[in-house]
A and B are shown apart, each in its own frame.
Chain A
Amino acid sequence: MPESIIAQMAVSGALMGLVYALIAYGFQLTFATSKSLNFGQGELVMVSAFFSLTLLTLGLPYLLVVPAGLLFGAAVGMAVERTGVRLALEQRSEGWILLTIIIGLFLFSFAENIWGRDDRPFPTPIPSTPFHVFGVDVTPLEISVLVGVLAVMGMIELFKRQTLLGKAVEAVAADRDAAELMGISATRTVVLSYALSGGVAALAGILVSPITTVGPTMASALVLKAFSVAVVAGLESGFGVVVIGLFLGALESLASFYLGSGWREAPGLILLILALAVRPTGVFGKAVIRKV
């Protein structure tokens, strides 16, 4: 039996790791274009989840709640860029770090006041009765996480490669000045990347809520691990976050099983410290080839 328990643990953990990967991917999106990221991303995940829950309790069908939640997250992302990031970047200051933390704290208080401090269930039409595949139990809910994460990441990657607007995003990431000389507004591109990042974070909230419940603190641990995943994979690595996310999720689950649940948070932090000490560009960080 132990093998099957290990497998079960690894699979459920890995699926949770996909949520880290998705939030980490959101970090990458803004870091690529602006070398900045939203340190209040966890609160963005949380308010988007609360917003979606509210729509759901108002009777909106789940299939409409998902896009509405994504749009809400994108809008919050744009607001964060406008209020917390743009001015700092224009002045070439690191002020965005503090400002985005402050916006996160503000969103936290906002959520506590509007929705209260209690954790609430997030009812979804997706069933959570497990079925058996390859000797492990998987719930349709977990499958929805897998499908949701890979679908949205796939769509954004396709957008970046196949549309001229997406290539413009890549161009700004590669060389902001040169992109401006092509008539590409770097400012608007950064706004777009914050919108995408916000939408991605909102989706993470919607996908994870039925498993973890919704509450003001729901995302603080999530986002810390997402940050580990982003740094370990490399802040510019694209799909690398999926590999590291799956790995970290499985590792955590096994650590809490064998060492006790208090050890659940340890692997993420250990990986983060290791990565920063040994390979700050990340496991999948690109070595840029330059000829002069």
Chain B
Amino acid sequence: MLVVKSLHAGYGLSEVLVGTSLEVKAGTVVALIGANGAGKTTTMRAISGLLRPSKGEVILDGTPVQGLEASRIAQMGLAHSPEGRKVFGPLSTEDNLLLGAYRRLPHLVGFHAKAAPDLERVYDLFPRLKERRSQQAGTLSGGEQQMLAIGRALMAQPKVMLLDEPSMGLAPVIVQEVFRTIARLKAEGMTMLLVEQFARAALDVADYAYVMERGRIAIEGTPAELRRDERVVTAYLG
């Protein structure tokens, strides 16, 4: 579903990604783990088009998308829940969700009615968001904002979803809830690429995993294989 081939990207003259390759098969969850600064978030940004890759390929559902505008890639079915959540602070929770479905909805009238089933689905997944539907998103708690960021990505009915650090800065009990949600989405067949600091939790939910070091993939394998790998255990699971 999503194939990344020897991707190079960076900021200004400094190259962060030096030939990253990975693959996310349809219906699977793939975890991308690694230390801070290894290039995980840069990989996500280069896939979704927020950062233009200097070399390499990104293939979404058979179509090369590298170099396209982020909005164009989103319209082709890739949803990216970015690091730091990036909800639209001044807008209401519900408006945030509606904008998540922007590519599928009429832009002037009737969008609310058309989005109703998707809104119900997200509210069913995150009842807290329903309680807060008319509240400004910027005033939600960190956990609620994370749910909103995931819900907003789901509203797009994407082919592939990128989740960047969904647990960042959240209380342990909320982190558990986020991972339960990811497991539930996986059970529903969602294809996901997950970047996580909590390598252990990420491996629990993933079908396959990549370990990034200094801008490229250093180790890859199934979670079971990685848990047996000494380098992974000492560096990331210890």
Contact = CB atoms under 8 A, between A and B. Distances in A.
Interface of A: 163-165, 167-168, 170-171, 173-175, 177-187, 286, 288-292
Contacts of A175: 86, 88-89
The 5 A-B pairs of least Cβ separation, nearest first, read: A183-B74, A180-B70, A183-B103, A178-B86, A165-B107
A291 B145 contact: yes
B70 A181 contact: yes
B140 interface: yes
Interface in B106-149: 106-109, 111, 136, 138-142, 145
Nearest to B88: A174
Given A165-B108, A289-B139, A291-B141, A181 B88 contact: no
A164 B108 contact: yes
B88 A184 contact: no
Interface residues of B, number: 41
A289 B98 CA distance: 21
Given A171-B88, A184-B99, 12 more contacts: A164-B108, A167-B99, A168-B107, A174-B88, A174-B89, A175-B89, A179-B99, A181-B48, A181-B50, A182-B156, A183-B75, A288-B90
B53 to A, nearest CB: 16
A178 B142 CA distance: 17
Given A179-B99, A182-B102, A292-B169, A163 B109 contact: yes
A186 B72 CA distance: 11
Interface string B67-100: 0011110110001101010111111000100111
Q: Which residue among B48, B102, B152 has the maximum number of chain A CB atoms within 10 Å of its CB?
A: B102
Nearest to A288: B89
Contacts of A182: 71, 74, 99-100, 102-103, 152, 156
B105 interface: yes
Contacts of B169: 292
Contacts of B82: 177-178, 181
B185 to A, nearest CB: 18
Interface of B: 48-50, 69-72, 74-75, 79-80, 82, 84, 86-91, 95, 98-100, 102-103, 105-109, 111, 136, 138-142, 145, 152, 156, 169
A170 B141 contact: no
A183 B138 contact: no
A272 B217 CA distance: 55
Contacts of A180: 49-50, 69-71, 74
A183 B87 contact: no
B101 to A, nearest CB: 8
Nearest to A187: B69
B88 A170 contact: yes
Given A164-B105, A289-B138, A178 B71 contact: no
B72 to A, nearest CB: 8
A181 B161 CA distance: 11
Contacts of B69: 180, 185, 187
A164 B156 CA distance: 14
A289 B140 CA distance: 10
A91 to B, nearest CB: 13
Nearest to B155: A182
A254 to B, nearest CB: 36
A171 B91 contact: yes
A32 to B, nearest CB: 10
Contacts of A289: 89, 136, 138-139
A164 B98 CA distance: 8
Given A288-B89, A289-B139, A291-B145, A186 B105 contact: no
Contact of B140 (A173, A185, A291): A291
Contacts of A184: 71, 99, 102
B75 to A, nearest CB: 4
